[in-house]
Amino acid sequence: MNKNIMDYETVALDEDGKGILIIDQTLLPGRTESIRLETAKEIWEAIYLLKVRGAPAIGVTAAFGLSVLARQIAEDGGKEMGFDSFYERLKEQKDYLDSARPTAVNLSWALNRMDRVCRQAHENGKTVSEIVEILGREAKKIKEEDMKLFLSKTGNDMENIYQEWLKLSAYTEGREEITKGDIEEICSVQISGKIFEMIHAISERKQKKALEYYYDLLTLKEPPMRILFLIAREYNLLLQVKQLEKEGKPAAEIAKITKLQGFLVGKYISQAKQFSVKNLKETLAECVETEEAVKTGQLDGQLGVELLIIKFSTKKQESFEEEK
Q: How sure is the predictor about 152, in pLDDT bands with cuts at 50, 70 and 90? A: low
| Residue at which a domain ends, from 123, 151, 179 | 151
- Burial code (b: 16+ CB inside 10 Å, e: under 16) for 242-275 equals bebbeeebebeebbeebebeeebbeebbebbbbb
Please report whether residue 286 resides in a domain. yes
Region label for 14, one of left (φ > 0), alpha (ψ between -120 and 50) or beta (otherwise): beta
| 86 and 196 both lie in a single domain | no
First to last CA, the chain: 46
For residue 61, give its domain range: 5-151
Mean pLDDT, rounded, for 41-57: 87
Contacts of 297 (CB under 8 A, 6+ apart): none
Question: What's the pLDDT at 76?
Answer: 93
| 92 and 206 both lie in a single domain | no
**pLDDT for residue 324 is more than 50:** no
CA angle 119, 124, 125 (to 5 degrees): 100
**CATH code: domain of residue 205:** 1.20.272.10
Q: What average pLDDT does the structure give for the chain? A: 82
Question: What's the pLDDT at 165?
Answer: 58
Quick check: 266 and 224 in contact, CB under 8 A?
A: no
Please report whether residue 172 resides in a domain. no
**pLDDT for residue 182 is more than 70:** no
How many distinct structural domains can be found in the chain? Answer: 2
| 242 and 317 both lie in a single domain | yes
Question: What's the pLDDT at 203?
Answer: 82
| 65 and 197 both lie in a single domain | no
Please report whether residue 273 resides in a domain. yes
Mean pLDDT, rounded, for 98-106: 83
Please give the Cα distance from 26 to 166 (Å, whole number): 16
Burial zone of 171 (CB within 10 Å; 0-12 exposed, 13-18 middle, 19+ buried) = middle
pLDDT (tens digit per residue) in 247-271? 999 988 998 898 877 767 888 898 8
pLDDT (tens digit per residue) in 4-40? 433 456 788 888 888 999 988 888 767 778 899 999 9
Comparing CA positions, the residue from 54, 60, 61 lying closest to residue 170 is 54
Contacts of 292 (CB under 8 A, 6+ apart): none
Q: What are the C-alpha distances in Å from 307 to residues 72, 275, 295, 318?
A: 63, 20, 16, 20
| 141 and 198 both lie in a single domain | no
Quick check: 167 and 154 in contact, CB under 8 A?
A: no
| Residue at which a domain ends, from 125, 151, 177 | 151
In angstroms, what is the C-alpha Rg of the chain? 24
**pLDDT for residue 275 is more than 70:** yes
